């Protein structure tokens, strides 16, 4: 089993070793897994091309490490507990033995449909055990999963299916989210009708039993195929550097990109970080509330916990259903030991005061985590006092889709915690802060651009189908560095505090949204000439979306036009990208070279109209007064 740090001394020792001898350090971790063939060399370190490889020549299958190797020691232990959207419905529990059988059946079904090693399979699924089963089934046969969050629109889904040329889509009939039932299959049908010619089959799991449109040429029911398959399936032998999955995420420019993770390094790193960050002990019940459509769901609901032989919970619903006490009710019901959620959920539940966690028994909690966006001080203290009872430390974990696993975090009961600080790098992680010229800021009490200067096993390897994009996005800004896109501070003791994105990415309720994507969507409206989108502080969501829109002609009915714009964004991307505020403008502030000056738009959106700075270099300085006058509260 992966080694676990249990004291501050051991943390320092592990960290020192990971920097002095990174290859030795990670080889020691890797040797705790089952390999079909041991690696020939540990690392290829090229941050320039970039070409980073870990455990080169090693052969393995990640599912043998998630499942088969546990059968002897913990075959009857619960692997997954599933909690329904409806509080009164019974939970579902799958043991490791049962999960392996289900995964094998699904893997056999995929093979029978012609899916094999290297094929891409798109997922558009609710949070039900079948999503985990099917992801692992792909990994079992060497197919590459590309999970798309089921809140994205048909357009957004189609774009991702086409980019990865997926051969199959796996979905459910419907998706229950709180009081709503969302017609998942019909979104998939619509996406496929948009020219997704690569898709041969759609595998549909009957979740609610609602009516769906059926095309017998491509649609197949899960219960008619998977359930009839044999429960044995040889795992495909994968190279450590073979692709495990693609996950699309937003950047500052263009369309979302497919971040690529590979088998070996991702396995070693997610297991190591899971064991250490949550200090998971045998018998604990671990619950991460993320959706599997995001990296947190991949690494810390499925792979990390199962690799570590943990009991991981999956929750179908939303925090406010049937009321704002649901999270606490579930923690109490299952005696949850580690609870991992996002600041936006904490803030929303904090605001719903009367369902405060006091009414629930949360004494089982040993560690509580936060991820996805900066946690503000008020929310941190509320979480610490009301949920953790100052007994269960908060692990404020900083990481990204691209990093694959947690990078900077306190270690509970080992390193100290400080409100809003993600604090210290994990062993193997070498963060640096740079000034805008790329000069490293040495020492403590500094603030700069957060970069990582040495490879770690679960880092992205490329962006699917476009390696140059990976290079320019992450490795070209500063020589020999991975650039995170975040700004950070280092305090007097060397703890890191993440300030937020320094690029044109906004973080809405912990979801990354590229301003360019939202602008492209808004511009699809025939009445729009151009638009500019910025983030602004939002009490619950962390950041809200503020759009400035220039229309072709005078806007007579602003409310009606706003609604149409929201509809376009919902159609192009999905409801999560809908602007919170839309200001109609006659002009956008432009530089003499024709670029929109976003700094000014950001300040106005933030309500800091007295801090616009120098506006004299604008091509059209007269627009500033108009922008200020029309600013929305």
- The binding site for ligand WTA (CB under 6 A) comprises 249, 294-296, 370-374, 396-401, 422, 484-486, 498, 500-501, 507, 512
Alpha-carbon distance of 48 to 52, in angstroms, equals 9
- Rounded alpha-carbon distances, angstroms, from residue 261 to 41, 46, 367, 462: 19, 16, 28, 8
- Rounded alpha-carbon distances, angstroms, from residue 388 to 179, 245, 366, 456: 29, 34, 8, 31
Give the count of alpha carbons within 13 A of 154, CB side only: 17
Alpha-carbon distance of 369 to 390, in angstroms, equals 13
Of 174 and 482, which has the nearer Cβ to ligand WTA?
482
Of 50 and 374, which has the nearer Cβ to ligand WTA?
374
Of 420 and 528, which has the nearer Cβ to ligand WTA?
420
* Peptide bond preceding 322 in cis form (omega within 30 of 0): yes
- Rounded alpha-carbon distances, angstroms, from residue 181 to 211, 232, 331, 571: 12, 35, 25, 18
User: Least distance (Å) from ligand WTA to the CB of residue 120?
Assistant: 20
* Peptide bond preceding 50 in cis form (omega within 30 of 0): yes
Of 173 and 373, which has the nearer Cβ to ligand WTA?
373
DSSP secondary structure, 138-191, as one string = HHHHT-EEEE--TTS-HHHHHHHHHHHT-SEEEEES-EEETTEEE-HHHHHHHH
User: Least distance (Å) from ligand WTA to the CB of residue 450?
Assistant: 8
Q: Which residue is nearest to ligand WTA (CB)?
A: 401
Of 397 and 462, which has the nearer Cβ to ligand WTA?
397
User: Least distance (Å) from ligand WTA to the CB of residue 422?
Assistant: 5
Quickly list H helices, 355-456.
377-382
Q: What is the distance, to the nearest Å, from the Cα of residue 441 to the centroid of all Cα atoms in its chain?
A: 29
Give the count of alpha carbons within 13 A of 112, CB side only: 17
Of 95 and 507, which has the nearer Cβ to ligand WTA?
507
Of 22 and 374, which has the nearer Cβ to ligand WTA?
374
Q: Are 313 and 81 in contact (CB under 8 A)?
A: yes
User: Least distance (Å) from ligand WTA to the CB of residue 459?
Assistant: 13
Q: Are 459 and 47 in contact (CB under 8 A)?
A: no
User: Least distance (Å) from ligand WTA to the CB of residue 499?
Assistant: 8
User: Least distance (Å) from ligand WTA to the CB of residue 279?
Assistant: 18
Residue 367 has which token pair? 């560690």
User: Least distance (Å) from ligand WTA to the CB of residue 383?
Assistant: 13
User: Least distance (Å) from ligand WTA to the CB of residue 374?
Assistant: 4
For residue 225, count other CB atoms closer than 10 A to its CB: 19
Of 29 and 400, which has the nearer Cβ to ligand WTA?
400
Give the count of alpha carbons within 13 A of 577, CB side only: 28
User: Least distance (Å) from ligand WTA to the CB of residue 484?
Assistant: 6
Strand-pairing partners, residue 170, are 123, 203
Of 287 and 398, which has the nearer Cβ to ligand WTA?
398
Of 172 and 415, which has the nearer Cβ to ligand WTA?
415
Of 295 and 624, which has the nearer Cβ to ligand WTA?
295
Of 167 and 298, which has the nearer Cβ to ligand WTA?
298
User: Least distance (Å) from ligand WTA to the CB of residue 410?
Assistant: 11
User: Least distance (Å) from ligand WTA to the CB of residue 420?
Assistant: 8
User: Least distance (Å) from ligand WTA to the CB of residue 384?
Assistant: 15
- Rounded alpha-carbon distances, angstroms, from residue 58 to 263, 288, 482, 540, 607: 10, 31, 25, 46, 55
User: Least distance (Å) from ligand WTA to the CB of residue 48?
Assistant: 22
Of 225 and 400, which has the nearer Cβ to ligand WTA?
400
72 contact partners, CB below 8 Å, separation of at least 6 = none
Question: Per residue in 347-378, is it b (16+ CB within 10 Å) or e — as a string?
Answer: bbbbeeeebbbeebebebbbbbbbbbbbbbee
User: Residue 396, SS3?
Assistant: strand
Torsion angles phi and psi, residue 615, rounded to 5: -110, 5
User: Least distance (Å) from ligand WTA to the CB of residue 501?
Assistant: 5
546 contact partners, CB below 8 Å, separation of at least 6 = 533, 534, 535, 536, 579, 580, 581, 583, 601, 605, 632
Of 99 and 277, which has the nearer Cβ to ligand WTA?
277
């Amino acid at each position: 089993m992966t080694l676990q740090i249990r004291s501050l001394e051991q943390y320092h020792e592990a960290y020192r070793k990971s920097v002095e001898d990174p290859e030795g350090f990670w080889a020691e971790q890797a040797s705790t897994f089952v390999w079909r063939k041991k690696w020939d060399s540990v690392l290829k370190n090229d941050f320039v091309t970039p070409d980073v490889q870990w455990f080169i020549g090693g052969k393995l299958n990640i599912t043998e490490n998630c499942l088969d190797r546990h059968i002897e020691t913990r075959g009857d232990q619960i692997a997954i507990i599933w909690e329904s959207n409806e509080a009164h419905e019974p939970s579902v529990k799958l043991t490791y033995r049962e999960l392996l059988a289900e995964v094998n059946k699904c893997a056999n079904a995929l093979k029978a449909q012609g899916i094999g090693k290297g094929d891409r399979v798109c997922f558009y699924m609710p949070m039900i055990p079948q999503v985990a089963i099917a992801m692992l089934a792909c990994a079992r046969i060497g197919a590459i999963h590309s999970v798309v969050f089921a809140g994205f629109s048909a357009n957004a889904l189609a774009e991702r299916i086409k980019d990865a040329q997926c051969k199959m889509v796996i979905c459910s009939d419907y998706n229950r989210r709180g009081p709503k039932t969302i017609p998942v299959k019909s979104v998939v049908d619509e996406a496929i009708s948009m020219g997704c010619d690569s898709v041969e089959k759609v595998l549909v799991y009957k979740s609610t039993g609602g009516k769906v449109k059926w095309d017998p040429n491509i649609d197949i029911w899960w219960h008619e195929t998977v359930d009839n398959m044999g429960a044995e399936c040889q795992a495909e032998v994968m190279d450590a550097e073979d692709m495990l999955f693609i996950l699309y995420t937003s950047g500052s420019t263009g369309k979302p990109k497919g971040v690529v993770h590979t088998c070996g390094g991702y396995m070693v790193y997610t297991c190591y970080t899971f064991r250490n960050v949550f200090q998971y002990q045998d018998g604990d019940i671990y619950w991460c509330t993320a959706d599997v459509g995001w990296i947190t769901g991949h690494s810390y609901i499925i792979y990390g916990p199962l690799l570590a032989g943990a009991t991981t919970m999956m929750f179908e619903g939303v925090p406010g259903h049937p009321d704002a006490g649901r999270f606490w009710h579930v923690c109490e019901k299952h005696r949850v030991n580690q609870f991992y959620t996002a600041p936006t959920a904490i803030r929303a539940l904090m605001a719903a005061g009367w369902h405060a966690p006091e009414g629930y028994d949360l004494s089982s909690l040993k560690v509580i985590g936060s991820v996805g966006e900066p946690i503000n001080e008020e929310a941190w203290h509320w979480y610490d006092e009301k949920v953790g009872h100052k007994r269960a430390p908060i692990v404020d974990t900083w990481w990204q889709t691209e990093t694959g696993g947690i990078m900077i975090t306190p270690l509970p009961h080992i390193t100290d915690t400080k409100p809003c600080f993600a604090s210290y790098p994990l062993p193997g992680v070498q963060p640096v802060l740079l000034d805008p010229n790329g000069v490293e800021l040495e020492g403590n009490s500094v603030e700069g651009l957060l970069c990582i200067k040495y490879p770690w096993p679960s880092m992205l390897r490329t962006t699917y189908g476009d390696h140059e994009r990976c290079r320019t996005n992450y490795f070209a800004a500063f020589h020999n560095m991975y650039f995170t896109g975040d700004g950070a501070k280092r305090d007097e003791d060397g703890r890191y505090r993440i300030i937020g994105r320094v690029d044109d990415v906004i973080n809405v309720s912990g979801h990354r949204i590229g301003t360019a994507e939202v602008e492209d969507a808004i511009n699809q409206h025939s009445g729009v000439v151009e638009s500019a989108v910025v983030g602004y502080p939002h009490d619950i969501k962390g950041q809200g979306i503020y759009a400035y829109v220039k229309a072709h002609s005078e806007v007579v009915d602003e409310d009606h036009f706003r609604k149409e714009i929201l509809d376009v964004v919902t159609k192009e991307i999905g409801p999560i990208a809908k602007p919170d505020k839309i200001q109609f403008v006659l002009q956008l502030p432009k530089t003499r070279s024709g670029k929109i000056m976003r700094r000014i738009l950001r300040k106005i959106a933030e309500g800091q109209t007295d801090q616009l700075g120098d506006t004299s270099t604008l091509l059209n300085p007269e627009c500033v007064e108009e922008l200020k006058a029309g600013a929305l509260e």
